[in-house]
Amino acid sequence: MSARQIDKILSYWGITLAVHHDNPLFADHKDLYDTIDATPLGDVAWQSFSLEFNGEKSAEDRPLWMQQSYDVWFWDPHAIVQNMLANSDYDEIAQDPQTHGAAFIPIILGSDKTTVSVTTGQNDYYLLYLSIWNVHNNVQCAHRDALVLVGFMAISKTNKKGINDPAFHKFKKQMFHSSLSKILANLKPGMTTPEVTWCGDGHYRRVIYGLGPYIADYEEQVVLAGIVKNWCGRCLAFPTSLDDGGVSRSHEHTDALVELVSFGILWDEYGIIGELVVCPP
């Protein structure tokens, strides 16, 4: 379609939307071309950032973990998801007419603690994996780039003297959440405002992202949920009586408790680490 025809159809589209106080997806042919030209294709470059302890530090005898800086390496998950959607090996999305041309893209995350050998020696990392829910299971099992190692999240270490320091364990958990929040930052705008994205069938679609399941073993669930070890990640039953059940955990309930209850009571009676800033903010 020529630029003149594109402008004409966008003008007609704008007239039909004016009564609804809305505007077309593109202002004119130039806006359309700029959107196409700005669409990233191909490989995604590695990025990194550093984290360090920013709480109160004593003038003397500071443990090593308070002095060190920790590097986190990751691929931009926003660009990774766009590459997944552009892969022609995957099935089409948003075929349901009820979606009106938009598609919901649930983000599936998972992490696992492991040791990676690099030039500086053996380093522990949380390996962060990402996939989307719009891909059939047989494609995921075939490893057609539907499951991507998206980041290496650093894990702080200490000596035997500091292994039982509560401040050290809280720092480790906070570093996990701060890393996760930073890595997912570019996805956040697309969770409330649909964006135009190239798909593998050759069409552009309006998509909106959302956080789906997080796959992890219990050790990572404790860190992810910001709870005390041996407590249940799904309910508020005491560790000594898990079979009795309890009130289900929720963000709303936890936020209310943090506002009203002291950190000590949160820890002892609810198994919640109130000082943590849990991702997503």
Three-class SS state of 105:
strand
- CA end-to-end distance (rounded Å), the chain: 44
- pTM beyond 0.75: the answer is no
- pLDDT score for 281: 43
What region, left, alpha or beta, does residue 100 occupy, with left being phi > 0 and alpha being psi -120 to 50 degrees?
A: left
- pLDDT score for 143: 52
* 154 CB neighbour count, 10 Å cutoff: 21
Residue-wise pLDDT tens digits, 63-93: 888 888 888 989 899 988 888 887 665 454 4
- pLDDT score for 91: 59
From 169, 148, 74, 157, select the one nearest 121 (Cα to Cα).
Answer: 157
**Tokens 């903010």, residue located:** 281
Classify residue 166 by burial, with Cβ atoms within 10 Å: 0-12, 13-18, 19+: exposed
- pLDDT score for 28: 92
CB 193, CB 75: distance < 8 Å: no
- pLDDT score for 42: 59
How much is the average pLDDT of 268-275?
A: 89
- pLDDT score for 184: 92
Three-class SS state of 130:
strand
Number of helices and strands (H, E) in the chain? 9, 7
- pLDDT score for 8: 93
* 99 CB neighbour count, 10 Å cutoff: 13
Say how far apart CA 33 and CA 59 lie, in whole Å: 58
Predicted confidence band of residue 280 (pLDDT cuts 50, 70, 90) = low
What residues does each domain of the chain span?
1-38, 43-219, 226-281
Of residues 37 and 121, which shows the higher confidence score? Answer: 37
CB 108, CB 116: distance < 8 Å: no
Residue-wise pLDDT tens digits, 165-213: 888 888 888 999 999 999 999 998 888 888 888 877 777 888 888 888 8
**Tokens 């002291």, residue located:** 262
- pLDDT score for 121: 54
Say how far apart CA 102 and CA 100 lie, in whole Å: 6
Say how far apart CA 233 and CA 225 lie, in whole Å: 7
Helix axes 29-37, 3-18, angle to 10 degrees: 110
* 169 CB neighbour count, 10 Å cutoff: 17
Residue-wise pLDDT tens digits, 117-141: 554 455 778 889 998 887 766 555 5
Say how far apart CA 63 and CA 232 lie, in whole Å: 31
**DSSP character for 115?**
E
